[in-house]
Structure 1
């Protein structure tokens, strides 16, 4: 929960290099397959390349549970395609094996380091910063297993990785759908972006640009909004701000009064939708 006692549901993606114990952490607000691919891509960038093999736990974005049993795991086809294009061999962790035990313990220790921050943050952005600082701290602390700093061993380990294939972005930069919230916002990569209140409750499509710096938002094939990606939690287009106020907080005011209010109270837009 945040400082106001409001609960937040989130997940932590944890990627650990076996030799150095160098860790990459990423806060996510969903567990979709596109999110997994983006996290892996960012992990590859952060750690200097792609290893020959990667162990995965038994999650539905990786394993096809309908075609698997206790002794044999079947990876789903889209994940296999991603691993093939990336150039790593995936291995499914099995319960009660030493390798799995180590992965589980590493995740438990990491989550334990986050618990003291309960009620110590105000926004998801704050929590994201806490996760990033924790990752940096973990990589500069001596590991319990070898008494060495992961960041120092990592310098040698990354020499054995293959280079990153930039074409992998097509696995998570494809068209995505979102339902417009009652606050007239859509969520993308842990941040929120405005659309007109006319689309509240409707399904819209999000198409990132090839440079990954901008998103275009479509409704039934027609572009309705465009936003530059930022680190701000709430991002409003000027016309959307006006329409949101007109439909809610200032429905009885004239356009001129709303415009004046916007000029005098710019900070209100970081609070709308909270």
Structure 2
């Protein structure tokens, strides 16, 4: 009996117009054989072979019993057990047999953790991609805080994720909520955690530690490599990216943040999928602690910057001008709504409209006034004054004699 490949070759040669004589000469098969397969027009059916027995056959019922009664699916353990019973095959045979019976890998079941009213807020950063007005691909950081009980959330976009941006967004969040929760849960973000102490306690950033003490907040870290321990804010970051961000159009960050606050207020009016209640209604049940005075929060909204030699401070990616006499000094910068204020020793020395262009230089009107006459000196130089001869004081000669005697004694 010819195999399928040989039969297919016969039909191919015949389709090429070759005669049976030529096919016999080329293939070496008998004339009757060639005629038979060309006449039948079908491939031969292979004769089924009897299956060979497996060394595992006597033990298969025992393996099924172990899987059903003991939940045993570890093939290495099965292999060692069967060897003790006289099995001489390989472990791969056991693995091939067990594979169809093995249950699918499923995540472990979890108990949903619900916080009591006013107890916890969860905080996290995310990154969002956008195209700027010049067509360049860029990224924006997004700060998200959510109250664990009511699910009210606050969203704010920032150019960077440093500690100053974090504190500014945090202050705006608690002002949006109207109060302070007892605990703020974050991951091990470098903006708030510098490392771990020898006793495995967090080494908080000193600015964040001062901020927490000032407002009476207890910071807490989630478990390492366990982001699900702050799953509420993790889902909210994804919710922002999937629901607020797609197709969003904005002129600058200030415009974007106004849209974000309006969206947070809108979302708070919707029925939450888990609680089946509106977050704004549950917020009334959150016993948040009252906000501290504005003076207590103001110092955390200011950033120290050193003025450059040409009279500029860098803030949020923009250089803002100050009077040239403050060059090389350390000043405080803060953003108040759409204004950037610069203070020195309790005096506001400059106020600018917040720029929306990354890397822009904003000059202050009259910034270099008086610079040319002062020769660049920021403090009055020691000066002497020449006067006319008629204004020179006339002194008695004995005064000069006394001075001469003093000089002689000194020598």
How many angstroms does 1:19 deviate by? Answer: 0.9
Q: Is the 8 A contact 1:2 1:123 kept in 2?
A: no
Aligned partner (choices 129, 144, 147) of residue 276 of structure 2: 147
Match of 2:53 in 1: none
**SS of corresponding position for 2:285:** helix
1:51 aligns with 2:193: no
Which of these two proteins has the greater Rg computed from alpha carbons?
2
CA distance in 2, matches of 1:141, 1:180: 53
Change (3 A) 1:68 1:112: farther
Match of 2:241 in 1: 111
Change (3 A) 1:67 1:145: same
How many angstroms does 1:92 deviate by? Answer: 0.5
Match of 1:61 in 2: 191
CA distance in 2, matches of 1:23, 1:77: 26
How many angstroms does 1:226 deviate by? Answer: 0.8
CA distance in 2, matches of 1:63, 1:194: 30
Aligned partner (choices 131, 138, 161) of residue 288 of structure 2: 161
Change (3 A) 1:5 1:126: farther
How many angstroms does 1:54 deviate by? Answer: 1.3
How many angstroms does 1:110 deviate by? Answer: 1.5
Q: Is the 8 A contact 1:191 1:231 kept in 2?
A: no
- Spell out the pairing of 1:67-82 with structure 2 (5 A cutoff): 67=197, 73-82=202-211
Q: Which runs of 5+ in 1 are unaligned?
A: 241-274
The TM-score, its normalising length taken from structure 1, stands at 0.66
CA distance in 1, matches of 2:303, 2:267: 33
- Spell out the pairing of 1:197-236 with structure 2 (5 A cutoff): 205-208=330-333, 215-216=341-342, 226-227=350-351, 230=353, 233=356
How many angstroms does 1:36 deviate by? Answer: 1.4
CA distance in 1, matches of 2:242, 2:309: 34
Superposed CA deviations along residues 57-78 of structure 1, whole A, max 9, x for unmatched, are 2111211235489x76443343
How many angstroms does 1:20 deviate by? Answer: 0.8
Superposed CA deviations along residues 173-193 of structure 1, whole A, max 9, x for unmatched, are 242357799xx98664x6957
CA distance in 2, matches of 1:125, 1:161: 28
CA distance in 2, matches of 1:231, 1:149: 36
CA distance in 2, matches of 1:117, 1:238: 39
**SS of corresponding position for 2:264:** helix
Superposed CA deviations along residues 134-158 of structure 1, whole A, max 9, x for unmatched, are 222222222111122211211221x
Match of 1:91 in 2: 220
Higher relative contact order (CA 8 A, sep 6+): 1
Match of 2:148 in 1: 18
How many angstroms does 1:214 deviate by? Answer: 6.1
How many angstroms does 1:131 deviate by? Answer: 2.2
Match of 1:271 in 2: none
- How many residues are treated as equivalent by the alignment? 228
Q: Which runs of 5+ in 2 are unaligned?
A: 1-130, 368-411
How many angstroms does 1:104 deviate by? Answer: 1.5
Q: Is the 8 A contact 2:305 2:313 kept in 1?
A: no
**SS of corresponding position for 1:171:** helix
Superposed CA deviations along residues 92-116 of structure 1, whole A, max 9, x for unmatched, are 0123264323332221112222431
Change (3 A) 1:77 1:207: closer
Change (3 A) 1:111 1:177: farther
Q: Is the 8 A contact 1:64 1:76 kept in 2?
A: yes
Q: Is the 8 A contact 1:2 1:121 kept in 2?
A: no
